[in-house]
A = this chain, B = another copy of it.
Amino acid sequence: MEGGAGAVESGERTRIMVGVNESTIKGYPHASISSKGAFDWTLSKIVRSNTSSFTLLFLHVQVPDQDGFDDMDSIYASPDDFKKLNHKNKIKGLHLLEYFVNRCHEIGVPCEAWIKRGDPKEVICHEVNRVQPDLLVVGSRGLGPFQRVFVGTVSEFCAKHAECPVITIKRKVDEAPQDPIDD
């Protein structure tokens, strides 16, 4: 039998990587609307009650410039000051991941979560390559072509370049904030 009916009984868990980021409105430690949407969709449509068959892998990519912006007024006089800054950002990222990890624990889905720094679209594709998940789920603000020119979408890049199947979950219309660029 090609592929085989037995494929359904495959022993190893399905490993789903979910790219998550912080809200542009509320900032850390709040997750963006589209990250939450992608996560909720994955739970309700894919994992469902079959919690023992999946592992969720949460990746948060911190953008160095953007995430350091709050600290622009600080004075950096020594290398230690930068270390402190990195530490502070790391803690912010951890609080963001905490939301997703807590939800998984409540439900009983095994998960892992980690932080990387860099350009989100490139880091996500690099991590897909390294970790080799079965599936990558990314949220999207669902912007129109005009808005996309200015913001560039991580989801579009990943769908094209990630070396695994990718699902893009568009934000629900009723969840979009007043300015659709926000998330």
Contacts and interface: CB of A to CB of B under 8 A. Distances in A.
A144 to B, nearest CB: 13
Given A40-B3, A165-B167, A48 B50 contact: yes
Which residue, A8, A14, A170, has most C-beta atoms of chain B within 10 A?
A8
A70 B169 CA distance: 41
A8 B167 contact: no
A77 interface: no
A176 to B, nearest CB: 15
Prevailing SS type, chain A contact patch: helix
A63 B13 CA distance: 38
Interface string A35-68: 0110111011111111101000000000000000
Given A107-B8, A167-B167, A168-B165, A14 B50 contact: no
14 contacts: A2-B36, A3-B43, A5-B107, A8-B43, A8-B47, A8-B49, A8-B109, A14-B45, A45-B134, A49-B50, A50-B53, A165-B167, A165-B170, A167-B167
Interface of A: 2-5, 7-10, 14, 36-37, 39-41, 43-51, 53, 103, 106-107, 109, 134-135, 159, 165-170
